[in-house]
Amino acid sequence: MRLVVLNSCEGARTSLTDPYAGVATTLIQLGVPAVVAMQFEISDEAAIVFGEELYTNLIGRQDPIDAAVAEARKAILIEVDDVEWATPVLFMRDPKVELFSFVVPAAPLPPPPAPIPIGAPDADRPDGADEELEATTSGPVRQVVATGVAGTGNGDGDSTAGDGGSGGRWKRWAAIGGGAAVVAAAVGGLLLAIDGDDDPGTSESTATNVDSTAQTAPRVPSGEARPHTATLAFEIVERNGDIHVFELDPRGGQTAQATDRPGAHDIEADWDPASNHIAFVRTNATTGRCTGICDVVPKAFSDDTGRRVEQLINPQNGIRHHQPAWARDSSLYYAATGACAEAASCSSDIRRATFDRQPAQDDPNFIDRWTVATDELALGGVEDLRDIDTDPQDENRIAVVGSGGVHIARNGSVEMRLDGSDGAVTVRFAPDGSRLVALLDDGGMVFWNRDGTPLVTTDMSTMLSTFVAQQGASAGDLDPAAVRVVSISSNESDAEFVALVDQPDSAGPPEIVVVDFGDDGRPVVEMWSRLPASLTSIGVLQSIAR
Amino acid sequence: MATYVYDDFRVTFTPRPDGSYDVRAVDASNETTQGVFTMPLSEDDLTRAVLQVARSNSRRATPTAPAAPTTLAAATPATRYVGGDGPPAFDAAHLGTLLAGALFTGDIAEHYERATNAGAAKGSGLRLSLSLADAPALVNVPWEFLYRRPRFLASQRHTPVVRWLDTGSLAPPPAIDDTVRILGVIAAPSDLNPLDVEAERRRIEDATRAMCDIDRVELDWLDPATPRRLREVLRDGSYHVLHYVGHSDYTSTGDGVPSSKTTTGDRAPSTARRSPTSCRTRRRCVLSC
């Protein structure tokens, strides 16, 4: 035995008087050359990421154990959080002695999964894509004793996963284990962009684009829609009542926590795909350096430790700042609401801030510092403001939801009120800005062209029922007639909209539905899948940030 | 043959009567420097910092939410702290800066810098090996947070941090001409908090599948994961790696406790020192689980 990996809590700790009283140190004393153990409690997510990376590097790449552990730490840092990477500890009897002496060269490692763009017909999908998406396990793994725990499978996998009728563009991939992969596929079109050299939304380009001079210029060329992100961001109500922002990296289905202030409620998150900043509203925090509208660059998109939460819009006494919405030029629209008498309608101003960006070379916890350069009134007197979204084609144009429905405003003037928008709760532009959708308080969904022409009014249960009937997919344990849309996002790949839905009385995880427009000009479900268990195990998903 | 080469920078701690430690650093060329290490934090402050990490982690590890622990021993899986109003979030860089500032002082700081540069010049990394066998009170210090601007040393491939417990000579590495054999042990006693062991199992299987396909890795899972079965399976000494997934505790009496289970599914009593051991021959070891 050359190595023992103790993926359990506090195996690295020992007594203050006897170095060999702990589990790991005892194993070293007993002759095991190397032990990896945890010095603190470790989350399931971090333990899983660590194990995967450790073996891939130690055996697959034939790295020394030190290097393999370092790579696994880095994976935790990127995929899980900015503290747990230090939880694993490497004990060795003699660090200079290698664990293994490989006679044959390192095995070639498998390439990353091929991205699958939304809307690709089955015939266009690469061979074996079904198996990859299902993320089931089979193959050379065997059990020492062939009883009890199964050696393969994907949790509570739905037997219908991936076996829908032929000819459909997408089927339902309902197994939790495959959920992340399916969401990854949902943004597959963007993954292709990430692999290119000119993607403006990737971490690498963001990190390197933060140069040494302050800048306020738009990062998206005029006339082009802003780039799509490769990430879904979620607000999750954790079981202790905290609300934090999480992100889902579709490349591997991994999740990362962007905010973690104890006691805080971090809500109304909005992602700026051009800069990878997430603006959000922090309430209920008893400590910390930010209240009201804050921002953070999640670690999964930085090249080191990420950027901690910072104040983005300075608070004002008696004014509530909320509903941040990034524009395509990385300026920020937000609502400023004064004190409202109970039962009275609140009036809000919508303001627009631009920022100076300064590199933070002195502090490694910061990638850059954003300070407000200008802060101007964009639209005044919105009654009972509920939502703001920005036009991906025009940084001066916004959609606003208030008690009077959805209004489109440009340069401080209302262009139009969208017909049929009474009772709207949220509004989103499609990623290319060609259409809008509003979710109504009765569950209805109304679609318009960007010029305000009404397209269709429908609801998610109708679209899902149609999808099930046409595609031959199984509804599994989800009743299409019972679903409700929790939130909508406009920011995923080439899809029109992404909706987070669930069933009011269901104990199951929320599901995610990608909606596109068919050839007949009607919205259709492109994909329908559960969210990964790694997200839903944390708490209750409250919304898709964007 | 290793794909990455390290020079060693060995730091040995020896207690002094005043509570500080003599530090002796030896690099790959056997250059030696001496220094003194004084813990930059009081025991209470260190405990507080460690607790904050434990709290941060446990908030993600379990849905249960009993009262906040007040001692290190209380920060176990059985008494998870899950947040709420509390002290400010743990600042890893601050702690790491304090530790590095106390360790890399005077000659040792310059020595480490020279060794780093020497390694870099020939394409080697620099492994910081902390010899703690004579300083048990320092074993629980979270050295992995050692921070020298702009990096946490342990998070970087070229500056790993290893805890070195010199317990005698070590057998040379076995020549792996075909397959690395990994034994996976999942111990999830029914009377402890559930863990996402199936997810980890899938990930380990996924991570090793390509290597399994070409016979570079053989991954076996022990079932049932009882101490008896473990001893039986390890008896032939053919496994190179043991991967344990499950709970373990650190008790106030100072015993590390990995949790295996009985044949009825409950936790089997065990301590780190209990049960037979026979680890003296190469590639043969019966663990004390």
Phi, psi (deg, nearest 5) at residue A253: 70, 15
Quick: pLDDT tens for B212-247. Answer: 777 788 888 887 767 777 777 777 778 889 988 776
Question: Can you tell me which residue has the tokens 């910072």?
Answer: A310
Structure tokens at A101: 């002496």
Phi, psi of A122 (to 5 degrees): -55, -40
Q: What is the pLDDT of residue A510?
A: 67
A24/B217 CB distance under 8 A:
no
Would you state the pLDDT for residue A350?
Answer: 94
User: Does residue A57 belong to the interface with chain B, where contact is any CB pair within 8 Å?
Assistant: no
Question: Could you say which residues from 510 to 539 on chain A have a Cβ atom under 8 Å away from some Cβ of chain B?
Answer: 533-534, 537-538
Q: Between A201 and A425, where is the model more confident?
A: A425
Interface test with B, best of A41, A78, A80 (most B CBs within 10 A): A41
Q: How many CB atoms lie within 10 A of CB A64?
A: 23
Instruction: Compute the nearest-CA separation of B40 from chain A (Å).
Output: 17
User: Is the C-alpha dihedral spanning A194, A225, A436, A312 positive or negative?
Assistant: positive
Confidence of residue B101 (pLDDT cuts 50, 70, 90): very high
What is the overall mean pLDDT for chain A?
67
Closest Cα in chain B, distance from residue A60 (Å): 7
Dist. CA A397–CA A414, nearest whole Å: 10
Determine, for residues A137 and B206 on separate chains, whether the beta-carbon distance falls below 8 Å: yes
Q: What is the mean pLDDT of residues A127-155?
A: 24
Predicted pLDDT of residue A248: 67
Q: Which of A7, A69, A106 sits opposite B3 (nearest CB)?
A: A106
Q: What pLDDT is attached to residue A11?
A: 65
Q: What average pLDDT does the segment A239-258 reach?
A: 67
Q: How far is B254 from chain A (nearest CA, A)?
A: 5
Q: Residue B6 and residue A66: Cβ atoms within 8 Å? A: yes
Share of chain A above pLDDT 90, in %: 15
Residue A66 has pLDDT above 50, yes or no: yes
B-chain residues within 8 Å CB-CB of A537?
A: 196
Residue B268: predicted pLDDT: 41
Q: What percent of chain A clears pLDDT 70, i.e. is strictly above it?
A: 58
Whether residue A124 is predicted with pLDDT greater than 50 in this model: the reply is no
Say whether pLDDT at B80 is over 60.
no
Model confidence at B123: pLDDT above 90:
no
Residue A10 has pLDDT above 70, yes or no: no
Cα separation, A478 vs B69, whole angstroms: 41
Asked if B172 and A101 come within 8 Å (Cβ–Cβ), the reply is yes
* Distances in whole angstroms, Cα of residue A364 to Cα of each of A201, A360, B92: 22, 7, 12
Burial (CB < 10 A; 0-12, 13-18, 19+), residue A3, is buried
Q: With bands split at pLDDT 50, 70 and 90, how would you rate the model's confidence at A165? A: very low
Of A502 and A153, the one with more pLDDT: A502
Average of per-residue pLDDT across A55-84: 83
Q: How far is A56 from chain B (nearest CA, A)?
A: 6
Searching chain B, which residue's CA lies closest to the CA of residue A102?
Answer: B176
For residue A43, which residues of chain B lie inside 8 Å, CB to CB? 57-58, 60-61
Question: Which band of pLDDT confidence, cut at 50, 70 and 90, is reported for residue A494?
Answer: low
B46 in Cβ contact with B102 (< 8 Å) = no
Q: Look at residue A377 in the predicted model and tell me its pLDDT.
A: 92
A128: contact with B, CB 8 A cutoff? no
- Nearest CA to A35 among A18, A54, A61, A53? A54
Q: What sign does the dihedral A351-A357-A361-A362 (CA atoms) show?
A: negative
pLDDT at A226 over 50: no
Give how far Cα A190 sits from Cα of A186, A231, A469, B65, Å. 9, 10, 29, 39
What's the pLDDT band for B206 if we cut at 50, 70, 90?
confident
Question: Could you tell me the two tokens for A393?
Answer: 């084609």
pLDDT score recorded for residue A475 = 52
> A 297-326 residues with CB below 8 A of B?
304-305
Q: In this model, does residue A460 exceed pLDDT 90?
A: no
Q: Kindly write down the DSSP assignment for every residue of B140-189, as one continuous string.
A: TS-GGG-EETTEEGGGSTTS-EEEE---S--PPPPEESS-EEEEEEEE--
What tokens were used for A449?
């062209």
* Contact flag A33-B239 (C-beta cutoff 8 Å): no
Residue B252 pLDDT > 70? no
User: Which residue from A31, A48, A109 is facing B199, i.e. has the nearest CB?
Assistant: A48
A47 touches chain B (CB under 8 A): yes
> First-to-last CA distance in chain B?
32
- The alpha-carbon gap from B126 to the nearest alpha carbon of chain A, in Å, equals 10
Min distance A121 CA to chain B CA atoms (Å): 27
Q: Smallest Cβ distance to A89: which of B163, B213, B272?
A: B163
pLDDT of amino acid A49: 81
- What are the percentages of helix, strand and coil residues in chain A, rounded to 5? 20, 35, 45
Q: What domains lie within chain A, and their CATH numbers? A: 3-92 (no CATH), 185-544 (2.120.10.30)
Burial class (CB in 10 A: 0-12, 13-18, 19+), A132: middle
- Residue A127's pLDDT is 29
Closest chain B C-alpha to A289 CA, distance in angstroms: 10
Q: Greater confidence, B118 or A407? A: A407
Residues of A in contact with B273 (CB under 8 A): 26
Higher model confidence: residue B88 or residue A485? A485
Encoded tokens for A225: 């829609």
* Nearest CB neighbour to A103, from listed B82, B177, B217: B177
Residue A82 — pLDDT band, cuts 50, 70, 90?
A: low
To the nearest whole angstrom, how far is the Cα of B113 from the nearest Cα of chain A?
Answer: 20
SS3 A16: coil
Choose among A8, A101, A152: nearest Cβ to B258: A8
Instruction: Report yes or no: A2 at the B interface, CB cutoff 8 Å.
Output: yes
B173 with A97: Cβ contact below 8 A: yes
Alpha-carbon dihedral A195, A199, A201, A202, rounded to 10 degrees? 40
Q: Are A177 and A509 in contact (CB under 8 A)?
A: no
Higher-pLDDT residue of B129 and B195 is B129
Grouping H, G, I as helix, E, B as strand and the rest as coil, residue A192 is helix
Which pLDDT does position A351 carry in this prediction? 95
pLDDT greater at residue B91 or residue B144: B144
Q: Looking at the complex, does the CB of residue A107 fall below 8 Å from at least one CB of chain B?
A: yes
Check residue A196 and give its pLDDT. 21
Residue A216: predicted pLDDT: 28
Selected residue with higher pLDDT from A261 and B7 = B7
B199–A533: do the CB atoms touch at under 8 Å? yes
The phi and psi torsions of A138 (rounded to 5 degrees) equal -160, 175
Q: Which of A428-442, A507-521, B100-114, B230-244 has the highest mean pLDDT?
A: B100-114
Distance CA A130, CA B286 (A): 42
Q: How far is A258 from chain B (nearest CA, A)?
A: 13
Gap from A512 CA to chain B (nearest CA, Å): 21
Query: Mean pLDDT, to the nearest integer, of B247-274?
Result: 42
pLDDT at B128 > cutoff 90: yes
Residue B99 near residue B146, CB atoms below 8 Å: yes
Q: Specify the higher pLDDT residue, A232 or B133.
A: B133
pTM more than 0.90 = no
Interface subset of A 269-298, CB within 8 angstroms of B: 286-288
Contact state of B6 with A64 under an 8 Å Cβ cutoff: yes
Which residue from A minimizes the CA distance to B150? A364
Residues A388-393 have a mean pLDDT of 90
Q: What is the pLDDT of residue A175?
A: 20
Residue A544: beta bridge partners?
A234
Taking residues A146-154, report their average pLDDT. Answer: 23
pLDDT in tens, A331-353: 999 999 987 765 566 889 999 99
> How confident is the model at residue B12, as a pLDDT?
95
Q: Which residue has the higher pLDDT, A302 or A203?
A: A302
Chain B interface includes A89 (CB < 8 A): yes
**Res A365: pLDDT:** 53
Indicate the Cα dihedral angle A56, A60, A62, A65, nearest 10°: 20
Mark yes or no for CB contact B241/A64 under 8 Å.
no
User: pLDDT above 90 covers what percent of chain B?
Assistant: 21
Q: Given this model, what pLDDT does residue A490 score?
A: 64
> pLDDT at residue B265 above 50?
no
Report the pLDDT averaged over residues A101-128: 42
- Taking 80 as the threshold, does the pLDDT of residue A316 lie above it? yes
